[in-house]
Amino acid sequence: MPKPEVDPTVSLELSVDRSSPVPLYFQLSQQLEAAIEHGALTPGSLLGNEIELAARLGLSRPTVRQAIQSLVDKGLLVRRRGVGTQVVHSQVKRPLELSSLYDDLEAAGQRPATKVLVNTVVAATAEVAAALNVAEGSDVHRVERLRLAHGEPMAYLCNFIPPGLLDLDTEQLEATGLYRMMRSAGITLHSARQTIGARAATAAEAERLAEPEGAPLLTMQRVTFDDTGRAVEYGTHTYRPSRYSFEFQLLVRP
């Protein structure tokens, strides 16, 4: 009688394509992630040890380790020395990416609509100049947008973008998100500094979001940097707290 199977990866049909330009470790990590997502690898189950897994796939141990490590960084796996690697019990969804509101809503299954209120060039105020690291009074793009879901306003977004980075087409702004436009313009987003707070709505804000004056609003300010360190966007956003809140997963850095 065969001994009971303890390594769930053996029945997983893992395989790598050496002729593909996709790195081997990436192929493996994708397959493992899909297996976790799909439920083939259940939470708490132990992966077989790295050496055997490498031998089975015809890979070296460093390559297998690199694949596993990327999933550990994502919070999907936990390694324990002397024990093994196991799938985390808790359901990890998104470890807080730098996503736009557009992407957020789209991921939530909603079909966000965007109305561009303003798309012009203005002189940078002291606040904007400091955030974008440009001279006060110099030209910057100013974009004001209203995000709607189910016909109701959800958020008012005001963004400032340095000149020359991007072709800010109004139609494109309404069809997709600002971040997506930046990425397709060849800008490599790197990091962002955010501040989330709350305050009472002013008369103008209340009007825009169809809320009573003085109603609580959720606010977010963000400066986004590309990988050369340039500030590529400064945004001041207000959200209707009854329609939107920030939800995300945090990972503890070991």
Partner DNA sequence: GTAGTTCGATTGTCCGGACATATGCATTGA
Partner DNA sequence: TCAATGCATATGTCCGGACAATCGAACTAC
- The only residue of 44, 58, 216, 241 in contact with DNA, by rule CB under 7 A: 58
CA 149 → CA 16, 102, 108, distances in Å? 42, 11, 11
Taking residues 56 to 95 in sequence order and writing x for each that binds a copy of itself by CB under 8 A, - otherwise, the string is ------x----------x-x--x---------xxx-xx-x
Say whether residue 76 binds DNA (CB under 7 A).
Answer: no
Residue whose CB is less far from a copy of itself, 148 or 192: 192
Residue whose CB is less far from DNA, 9 or 100: 9
Residue 23 binding: pick among a copy of itself, DNA, none (C-beta 5-8 Å cut-off by kind): DNA
Applying CB under 8 A, does 120 fall inside the site for a copy of itself? no
Which residue, chain included where needed, has tokens 């790197």? 190
Task: For residue 189, state whether it binds a copy of itself (rule: CB under 8 A).
Answer: yes
Contacts 24+ apart (CB under 8 A), 118-125: 118/142, 118/143, 118/144, 119/143, 119/144, 119/168, 119/170, 119/173, 121/163, 124/160
Rule CB under 8 A: is residue 248 a binding residue for a copy of itself?
Answer: yes
Residue burial 162-194, b: 16+ Cβ < 10 Å; e: rest: beebbebeeebbeebbbbebbeeeebeeeeeee
Which residues in this chain contact DNA in the complex, by CB under 7 A? 21, 23-26, 47, 49-51, 58-63, 65-66, 79-85
